[in-house]
Amino acid sequence: MQPVHAVIFDLDGTLVDTLADLGTSMNRTLEKNGFPAWPLEAYRQMVGNGMRRLTERALGEGAAPETVERILGDFLALYDRDCTRLSVPYEGMTDTLDRMREQGIALAVVTNKTEEQANKIIRHFFGPDRFAAVYGNLPGRRTKPDPAATWEALEKLHTRAENALFVGDSNVDVQTAKNAGISCVGAIWGFRGEEELRRAGADWLVRCPRELLALIK
């Protein structure tokens, strides 16, 4: 294994447990518009591919495009207001990030949520300085598993792919890492769990954030 100089993290289900805020905001939006709500646990399988895909899954396959647009707009407005209300960083995450930085590891975030919301959540829970860069969904930027944002992060961190790790909780994250040529660490504490990460081909599986430290020594 090459020396690790940088670690790129997914956000939802990896750094922060955002499920309650995502699910609650979507359920309130659905009910307001006459659609049935989902159990919060159902959202574990809906998130990970961006807000539009989350909206399509919540409405059910075959929803009219204009309905998706309307619900998406209502959901984003509500979630933007409440995105830090119920969310919490995973236990040990902040300390792990600080230990990495003490060892000279550069940190970044690559997520499929909007970049504005990602920055809001990261600053709220981790402050302005722990991450050198946060990359989210922007017009014209391809979302994960496309490697474009991950390559942008590597360039920003002045790190080659072989000297980086990508940490995520879903098959989308594993495929993103593979597409970018980066080794992937599966965070089995997240939304999708160990089985999905094994099937997707994660290079390592870790059960808690502190176990990441053993991979960067």
Which residue is catalytic, options 10, 21, 74, 169?
A: 10
Active site residue 10: yes
How far is Cα 144 from Cα 66, in angstroms, rounded to an integer?
A: 24
CB 110 within 8 A of CB 10: yes
Assess whether 127 and 74 both reside in one domain. no
Task: Write out the H or E segment, with its range, that includes residue 166.
Answer: strand 164-168
As to burial, measured by CB atoms within 10 angstroms (0-12 exposed, 13-18 middle, 19+ buried), residue 81 is exposed
Assess whether 169 and 111 both reside in one domain. yes
**pLDDT digit of tens for each residue in the chain (217 aa)?**
789 999 999 999 999 999 999 999 999 999 999 999 999 999 999 998 889 999 999 999 889 999 999 999 999 999 999 999 999 999 999 999 999 999 999 999 999 999 999 999 999 999 999 999 999 999 999 999 999 999 999 999 999 999 999 999 999 999 999 999 999 999 999 999 999 999 999 999 999 999 999 999 7
The β-bridge partners of 9 are: 109, 167
CB 205 within 8 A of CB 194: yes
Assess whether 44 and 128 both reside in one domain. no
The β-bridge partners of 165 are: 7, 183
* Global confidence as pTM: 0.95
Assess whether 62 and 156 both reside in one domain. no
Question: Residue 72 is part of a domain; what is its CATH number?
Answer: 1.10.150
One-letter-per-residue 3-state SS of 161-192: HHHEEEEECCHHHHHHHHHHCCEEEEECCCCC
Assess whether 110 and 153 both reside in one domain. yes
How many distinct structural domains can be found in the chain? 2
